[in-house]
Every structure is written in structure tokens, then in C-alpha cells.
């Protein structure tokens, strides 16, 4: 092999090794920040056709409805445990220490981000309460008193738009 070809092979090998190393480091960094979404049934019974269950200690997000009567304050008053359910029969207990969102209540949909402690128990680091498109903060509702409000669910039914009937060129 002549020196020119040998040098070219060395440079190409170094470039390929550098690209492979950079790709491996990026994939490793991303794997540490991925939180997969599960429902209570998917945590208990498994997800997909292969019925893959999350591993204990895995970071995840869980979404479902808070079971009425399941909210329990523990100890200092900031620690709360409650059960989540979806359309399936499985329930998962979520433990959270902190201040719950204002919209959190029994029967309401929530999403919790945390770590799986056991087959049906999650330690949440963050709890987000869901609301529908009709939600309006009390301060905004007070400021809009007297203004005719058309809920978004009626916009598609032709009963009005938020800006009047001439909005968007429709007469």
C-alpha cells in the first residue's frame, strides 16, 4: 500500500470512529431523558401486542382519572396518595409530595411524571391536572362578564365564532 492511500485510509477511519462515538454519546444522553407514557392498564397488564411492562425504577408518565374516594393525605399534609384508573380494570397508586394543582380533584384526569416503585405504585415528581377547552380562570371569567361567550364546542356547529359572523370571510 502506498503512503498516500495509507494516509487516506487512516483519515477515513478516524472520521468514522469520531462519528460513531458522537452518535453513541448522543443516543446515551437521550435515553436518560426519555419518559414513556403509560395508562394504568398498560402498567399492570403490559403495553402493545408483546405486553411489555415497564421495569421497576423506570422513569415514566402515567395518565388517567383519579378514583373518587381514593385521595389520602399522609403525614405532613404535603404527601398525597391516590389511585388512577382508565377504561380498563387496573388501578395504579400514585404518591406525590408537594402542592397539587388547583384543578386536581377526584374524577378529574391527570398526568403524573415519576418513577415506577412496584408493579402498581408510582412515585410522582410532578402532577399535572387536565382540563377541557371550556376551562377559564376565575379572574378572566370576571373580566369577561357581560360579553357573549360562545364555547369552542359550538364553533364547529355554526352557532357563532369568537369574533362574530364576519370573521374569516364568512357572511
CA distance linking residue 83 with residue 68, whole number of Å = 9
Rg of the chain taking only CA atoms, in angstroms: 26
To the question of whether residue 163 is assigned a binding role by annotation, the answer is no
- Region of 50 (left: φ > 0; alpha: ψ -120 to 50; beta: rest) is alpha
Q: How far is CA 5 from CA 2, 18, 126, in A?
A: 6, 20, 58
**Which residues are documented as binding site?**
131, 135
**Which residues are documented as binding site for heme?**
131, 135
Amino acid at each position: 500500500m502506498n503512503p498516500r492511500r495509507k494516509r487516506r485510509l487512516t483519515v477515513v477511519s478516524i472520521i468514522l470512529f469520531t462519528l460513531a462515538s458522537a452518535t453513541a454519546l448522543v443516543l446515551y444522553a437521550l435515553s436518560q431523558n426519555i419518559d414513556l407514557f403509560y395508562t394504568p392498564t398498560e402498567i399492570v397488564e403490559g403495553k402493545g401486542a408483546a405486553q411489555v411492562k415497564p421495569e421497576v425504577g423506570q422513569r415514566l408518565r402515567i395518565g388517567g382519572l383519579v378514583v373518587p374516594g381514593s385521595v389520602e393525605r399522609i403525614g405532613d399534609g404535603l404527601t398525597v396518595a391516590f389511585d388512577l384508573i382508565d377504561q380498563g380494570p387496573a388501578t395504579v397508586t400514585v404518591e406525590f409530595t408537594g402542592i397539587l394543582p388547583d384543578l386536581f380533584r377526584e374524577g378529574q384526569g391527570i398526568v403524573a411524571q415519576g418513577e415506577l416503585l412496584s408493579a402498581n405504585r408510582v412515585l410522582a415528581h410532578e402532577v399535572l391536572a387536565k382540563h377541557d377547552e371550556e376551562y377559564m380562570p376565575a379572574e378572566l371569567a370576571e373580566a369577561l362578564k357581560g360579553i357573549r361567550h360562545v364555547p369552542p364546542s359550538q364553533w364547529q356547529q355554526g352557532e357563532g365564532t369568537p369574533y362574530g359572523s364576519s370573521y374569516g370571510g364568512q357572511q
